[in-house]
Amino acid sequence: MLMTFQQAMAQQLGGVEYQIGPEDVLHISVWKEPDLDREVLVRPDGGISFPLVGDIQVSGRTPLEIQNEIKSRLDRFIPDAEVTVSVTKISGYTIFVVGEVKTPGQFTLGRYVDVVQALTLAGSLTPYANGDNIKILRRVAGQEKVFKFDYGDIKSGKNLKQNIILQSGDVVVVP
């Protein structure tokens, strides 16, 4: 069985499809339109520019989501365009863990991790940590989102949904 790159990445990441990040390189092609076959670098702000389409925010989105948006925006110029978006270079997956952990810092990884795994990478909580008020900070389309995480609930086997998969650039704050 032959897999696309996106399917292989999703399988490797335990069913979580890869999300584009800054400095990734994308190959975008439109079938039978050689002028619309490009490699584009995702800017630090998470956007790209593409002919006839303009700027698109791609950071935090999957290749399929980007493919569908480009197809939709191209429709008035090229009806029923066949668009392909693939990731040709992954810049890295970096998270930050700060505050009352034994080894705070920046962690660049080759795989996705959840909050508990990130805390483990940072050496776990210090005795002074307030594990019931951990926050995950995430920037989405220029807006800061805050997710709450209660380590005590996780230890008790409750509210396991809060143990989210972290995205590149997420900051785990342990008060």
Domain positions in the chain are 16-89, 93-174
Beta bridge mates, 13: none
Strands in 31-155 per DSSP E: 38-41, 47-50, 54-57, 83-89, 93-99, 105-109, 134-140, 143-149
Which two tokens mark 35?
């002028």
CATH topology classification for 93-174: Outer membrane lipoprotein wza fold like (3.10.560)
pLDDT at position 32 is: 95
Instruction: Identify which of 158, 151, 156 has the alpha carbon closest to the alpha carbon of residue 172.
Output: 151
Q: How confident is the model at residue 19 (pLDDT cuts 50, 70, 90)?
A: confident
pLDDT at position 165 is: 92
pLDDT at position 16 is: 65
Find the Cα–Cα–Cα–Cα dihedral 20, 50, 41, 38, rounded to 10°. Answer: 110
Is 60 exceeded by the pLDDT of residue 47?
yes
**CATH top class, domain 16-89:** alpha beta
pLDDT digits 0-9 by tens, 129-163: 999 999 999 987 778 999 999 999 999 999 999 99
pLDDT at position 4 is: 45
Is 90 exceeded by the pLDDT of residue 33?
yes
Max CA pair span of the chain = 62
pLDDT digits 0-9 by tens, 62-87: 999 999 999 999 999 999 999 999 99
